[in-house]
Each structure stands twice: as structure tokens, then as C-alpha cells.
Structure 1
């Protein structure tokens, strides 16, 4: 996972998320109901509700049920969270339990 090393400032996250017209489009790719996938879903939902409340669309894609989407996105490892909009597209792969890494990885701070 490639992320910047700066520590997120929670007020910056809030300011970006509250900017008029900003709606984040996120895709979370998981593998069924395995523990890592279930935890990734919980973690991402918590992050979205805390930092992007009312300003996001989260699509959860099970690559076992919808492999086409994984191929289309070039997914090689899961879980992976993709910020589709606003551009640029960003990805965080692997452990999604560290809020700071997710926020930095998606450039939400």
C-alpha cells in the first residue's frame, strides 16, 4: 500500500467532506463473508459514517459473486477500497482497520 506519511488532521477531513457538491464514490472489493472481508466492511462503513456522513456512495462488491467487476478494475488483492470520485482515483489495499492509513491512502486529508 502506498500512502503519504503525514498524519491526517481530522478538521481537514471534515472540511473536504463538507465542501459543497463533493460526493465520494467508493467501491470496496471483498471475498465473500470471510472474516477479513467482514471486518473490512465494518471498518469502511465506520470511516465513511464518521468522516463522509451523507456525502458518499459505497458499493460493496464480492469478487466471488461478481468476478467481472474485479477483472474490469484490475483487482489482484483484496480487500481493496477504491475512491472513484472525486478524481484522482485512489486505492487502499489490504488492512483497512487503520483509519489514518485509509484517509491518507484515499487522499481524504
Structure 2
């Protein structure tokens, strides 16, 4: 006689499905910088490193120099640079600064839960 799946079995399946779906989601990110100053260069290097380590093969990162494309900055209401905008997956999120607060960015990108310890190397 077959065992009927219990509620906990269904919840476990949903959790695994949700985790797999999150692992396959494509991230669309836009980093606004001002020229190629040391602060801008640092932000670009750091966000690329975060993306390669945590989103390998499933992200699109566009770097926009607002000194060359001011209309893009105005359309996104950018008031400081560097600013990273996570467009997808929703919800939209903004990060301002040189992208040095890796844990805060991982939390904001929903790649780590609050209180979760970083993986050991």
C-alpha cells in the first residue's frame, strides 16, 4: 500500500523547489559610477567579485558612467554614486557606496539570510 504524502512532505518539496528556483533566477544589476575615479573602480571590482562568487553565470551587470549618461541617472533618480540597483529579481533594491560591505549586499540581493554565517573557505 502506498503511503500518502503528508503535509510535511509537501512543505519539504516546496522548500526544495523554492531553493532550486532561486538558484536559477537571473539577476539584472546596474551599477552607476561617476567617471573612473578610485572609488568607482573599487566599486566595479567589488561588485564583479560578488557576482562571480555568488551568481556565477546567472547575472547581467551593466556599468553606467553618469558623467557620460546623465539622463539614465536622472531616470533612476540617482543622487549618489556609486549606486547599485538590483532590478531583477524583484523587489528592486539600491546600494550606495563602494560595495565594500559584502554581507550587507548579499543580504540585500537575497543571497544570504539575516544571521546566517558566511560559508567557511
| TM-score, normalisation: structure 2 | 0.72
Higher normalized contact order (CA 8 Å, seq sep 6+, divided by chain length): 1
Partner of 2:14: none
CA separation of 1:16/1:52 partners in 2, compared to 1, >3 Å: closer, same or farther?
A: farther
Give the deviation of 1:102 after TM superposition.
1.1
Give the deviation of 1:18 after TM superposition.
5.9
1:61 correspondence with 2:60: no
Instruction: Describe the SS at the equivalent of 1:19.
Output: helix
How well do the aligned residues superpose, as a CA RMSD in angstroms? 1.7
Higher Rg of the two aligned structures: 2
Instruction: Describe the SS at the equivalent of 2:44.
Output: helix
CA separation of 1:49/1:18 partners in 2, compared to 1, >3 Å: closer, same or farther?
A: farther
1:19 correspondence with 2:37: no
Partner of 1:86: 89
Partner of 1:34: 37
Aligned length: 94
- Give unmatched runs, 5+ long, in structure 1: 1-14
Rounded Cα–Cα distance in structure 1 between residues aligned with 2:105 and 2:37:
20
Runs of 4 or more consecutive aligned structure 1 residues displaced over 4 Å after TM superposition: 15-18
Rounded Cα–Cα distance in structure 2 between residues aligned with 1:16 and 1:60:
28
